[in-house]
Structure 1
Amino acid sequence: MIFNIYDFWNNGLVGLINGGDHFEQQLRPGEIRMMSVHAKENHPQFIATNRHIMQGYLDLKDCIWNSKKKTLKGVSDVIKDDTYKVIIATNGYQISTCNVSAGKYKVKMIEGNSGIAELIINTTKNATVNWEVKFK
């Protein structure tokens, strides 16, 4: 099995690692790291959020892939005036469109991290936001 490893503090994909491989990081003095580890799927998938070091555990209420519609849909608790990011491994798909139920949004690929996108949501009040990213 292959895993996506995402570095919360450095906002980037560390890479893909085989489940049987050894993973090691060198830390600078005073540095900490927090990694999310998700088994790589054969379709787009959520791998982290920027809300908390738990990377989605507290704020991401739901996330489902619909293979017929080629959509990744989720529900996130977003805090007013604080940029919220959902990190998505596109896994070979391309983003087509996006929609959110509240606030303003944009989707962008993270430079230097091939196949990793950010869905960025900003609201003017605390909100539970339904979001959907369509792929082709």
Structure 2
Amino acid sequence: MTRPLPSLTEAKDLAKRLRRKLTEAGTPIGHAQSLERVAHQHGFRDWNTMRAEIRNGPPKGWAVGETVNGTYLSQPFRATVVSIKIVKPGWFHVGLDLHEAVDVVRSKRFSNLRKRIRGVVGPKGHSAEKTSNGEPQLKIDLR
């Protein structure tokens, strides 16, 4: 029985967890072996075949018209994806239409509400750019 196809990041995370669990159980395996086992669990003959099928596409639920959750400048949001374009493998330029505007200013003296935002997010669902407190500016939850 095949399982739903994970994203590339999810597949690699599965392999890391499998490797760690087997090592803890006294059966250490290498990284390549764990990738092969994940591929077999999903019905592929080897990792390269599974990798080709995944093709660094966006995570599930990140298609135009889909609803995503996340944070922008540490403010939680729910939004509809209005655009998505691959920048480089695993990194995507996304355009989001927020269901409710978020205030991007922390001052009590004035506000700046944003309803539409754009940004580049990587395989873990967050931007490389950080706020002054070290948090990613944009984070989109992976499903």
TM-score, normalised relative to structure 2 = 0.26
Q: Which has the higher strand share?
A: 1
Decide which structure has the larger Cα Rg and report it.
2
